Structure 1
Amino acid sequence: MARNRAGKALITLPDNAHVMPPLVIEDESDMLLAITAAGRMLMFPVSDLPQLSKGKGNKIISIPAAEAASGQDGLAHLFVLPPQSTLTIHVGKRKIKLRPEELQKVTGERGRRGSLMRGLQKIDRVEIDSPRRAAAGDSEE
Structure 2
Amino acid sequence: MSIWDWSYVWEALPYLYRGAIVTVQATLLSFAIALVLGLVFALIRQSPNRYVSTAMAEIVEFIRSTPLLLQVFFVYFVGPQFGIVIPAWICGIGALGIHNAAYCSEVYRAGILAVEEGQWEACTALNLSRRRIWSAII
TM-score normalised over the length of structure 2: 0.24
More strand by share: 1
Greater CA radius of gyration, 1 or 2?
2
TM-score normalised over the length of structure 1: 0.23
More helix by share: 2
